[in-house]
Amino acid sequence: MAKIYAVIGTKGGTGKTSTTVNLGSILADMGKSVLLIDTDFAQALSKYFNIPFPANAGLTQLITRADPAGCISQTGFPRLDIILNDDSLGDKGGPVLSFLRQSSSHMIYLSLALQKLAEAYDYMFIDTQGASGLVQEAAILAADELISPVVPNYLDSTEFITGTVGLLRKLLPAPGMKTTIAGKPLAPCNVVINKMGRTRDAKNVVDHLRKEFDEAGDGLVRVLNTVIPDLAVYNKAAGASEAAHHFEPARPTYSPSAKETMVNLAYELQPKLTGTEPAWEV
């Protein structure tokens, strides 16, 4: 049965797509079958990989018909598949948002579609747009857990509390109910500090954010111990359509390598994987 993560945040530029790709890739290299789903109308995840022969269908069919048949493309990496976002219009008249606006029942179509793939994959990651809206809400309702990358600065942390936490509160079950309209409890949110600088000021900011998020998160949020350093390798890997840990399996300096960081993140999210080492062909 697949574990479904939605990578969320109401602010852009926090590293949602990078986190989706690199966490999904490290799990695939640990021998797990992984599906990535691009729900961001900017299509950053869809453009990350070089896919010469995409599937005939994509996100539009997945959501509007709750049908994943013919929607899955191969990334070219073993055990790592993707559902591309084929709706480039988005809020400018695209089919996905138009469909979600028609009925509140349509909000669970993404969840229903992914349930049909639950036996085919170990993990699914839904990449979302840096905003709040119906697609983001559908992704949250479909997820078992949430991951929210946050850059350690005042503006990003404030947006997380007012925007992302506010969005989660909106989706809480009705009073007296234990489940959302998707028929399960609201997914807990794991905050991962991303683009962490190597200065004492950056560490002080992170310590402050951990305390602030714990107090303001209403029990909906936990801040992970693993942090993602602000390193050029993540941008370089994206430019080469590669996973960052393939680029940097080891690092001779103080900061942890991309491989070490993503392995630790995978272990923290899924403790049962502790001790499983990733392997890939060079």
Q: Is residue 239 part of a domain?
A: yes
Domain extent for 102: 3-273
Q: Is residue 148 part of a domain?
A: yes
Task: Measure the CA angle with vertex 22, ends 17 and 23; round to 5°.
Answer: 100
Residues shown for the chain: 282
Dump pLDDT digits (tens) for 137-188. Answer: 999 999 999 999 999 888 888 899 899 999 999 999 988 999 999 999 999 9
> Cβ neighbours of residue 205 under 8 Å, at least 6 residues apart?
152, 153
Dump pLDDT digits (tens) for 93-148. Answer: 899 999 999 999 999 999 999 999 999 999 999 999 999 999 999 999 999 999 99
Give the mean model confidence (pLDDT) for residues 46-57.
95
* Pairing assessment for the beta strands 145-150 and 123-127 based on DSSP bridges: unpaired
**Quick one: which of 43, 144, 141 has its CA closest to 100?**
141
CA distance 224 to 150: 11
Q: Is residue 278 part of a domain?
A: no
Crossing angle, helix 258-269 and helix 16-29, to 10 degrees? 80
Contact between 1 and 118 under an 8 Å Cβ cutoff? The reply is yes
CA distance 271 to 6: 19
Please tell me the total count of domains within the chain.
1
Rg (CA), the chain: 18
Q: Is residue 28 part of a domain?
A: yes
